[in-house]
Every structure is written in C-alpha cells, then in structure tokens.
Structure 1
C-alpha cells in the first residue's frame, strides 16, 4: 500500500460501531476479531472509540457502558487524507485505529 494512497481507497467498510449506552457485554464478542470500535451518537457521528484496553480498565467489568469507558474525543480523519497522514496521527496520539468520517462526522470507514 502506498503511503500516498487516500484513506477512501484503503479503508474497511462497512464498519462495526458501538453506542455509548450499550453495555460492554453486548460488544465483547467483537473483540475476538477487532481491537476497537468507533462509538457513535444517534446520528452516526463519531464521539469516541472503545478498545480492548478500555474494556480492561472498566471498573464494573462487562456491566459498564461504552460511554463510561470509551476514549473521547475520537481522533478521526476524512477519506481524502493519506495513509501517511493517518500513520503520523496514530503515532502522535498513540492510537491503533482512526475512524474515517464524512463532513457530518459520521463514520464511513
């Protein structure tokens, strides 16, 4: 993959997402194949990210809500940014995933 490739060309979609009112137990099985999920509000806007690390820190275990444990605000990029820009942002913020969002901040990849 070229470092100059646009995220819109290489992003995964559709994307599994979580909502802040969900319990960790509801998404726990997804952590078997994914290290984290974007967290969206009622209009699909990215408001955070929940990861395996967040799950491990949950004080109430799987009874915790996503909103209680998620990292927020989410570091996001639009589909016109490059793989190189995404990699630099990931290093800067020490994150392992960056949701790709549209102009309305809705998760698209």
Structure 2
C-alpha cells in the first residue's frame, strides 16, 4: 500500500451512522466499538460527525440530540482521493476520521487515522 493508494483500498465499510435528530442515548452503545460516526440528515446526506468527545461535551447528557453536539459541516472525501490527501486533511482539521461519500454526499465508507497509519506503515516496509 502506498501513500498514493486510493481511499477505496483502505476505507472501512459498511459504516454505522447516526441521524441528526437521534438522541445520544440511542447511539451510545455504538461508541463501545467506534470513536465516531458520520451524521446524516433526513435525505441521507452526510452533514457532520459525532464523536465520543462530542458526546462527553453534551450539556443535557444522553438526552441531547446528535445535531446539538456533532461537528459540522462534515469534512468528507471521495473514493478517488488518496491516503496522503486524507492524512493532510486530518492534520489540517485535527480530525480522526473522514467519511467517504459519493456525488450525492451519501456515506459509502470511512477512513480513520488507523487506516492511514497502517497504509503508510506498509508503504514504509516495502
């Protein structure tokens, strides 16, 4: 795997998502296995990301809605972008995960810092 590998080669799928109008209590169990989720609007478009850190800052605790605490607007990438581009965007925006979307802004995968680091580490071994 090289830094120029396409995100389609390193992203995770399928992706658990949250809806903007959901209560944090409804998605709390998902945080046991992942640190953040893409957030969708009623039309299925990615509008943000909600993380464990966002959840911890919720003023109403688990009664808060995802929309109240999520990071928005969504920082997204498309399948044709590279591992290197994902790494640069993560550094620039200080994020740990980036949803991968299609032309309609529907989530088709997610790339995490771990995905990026593993791809770069494999390239370093070669």
- What TM-score bracket applies, with the shorter chain setting the length? over 0.9
1:91 is the counterpart of 2:91: yes
1:23-62 matches, within 5 Å, as: 23-62=23-62
Q: CA RMSD in A?
A: 0.7
Q: Which residue of 1 aligns with 2:106?
A: 106
Runs of 4+ in 1 over 4 A off after TM superposition: none
Larger Rg: 2
Superposition deviation, residue 3 in structure 1: 1.1
Q: Which residue of 1 aligns with 2:69?
A: 69
Superposition deviation, residue 43 in structure 1: 2.1
Superposition deviation, residue 8 in structure 1: 1.1
Aligned length: 109
Give unmatched runs, 5+ long, in structure 1: none
| Higher fraction of strand | 2
User: TM-score normalized by structure 1?
Assistant: 0.97
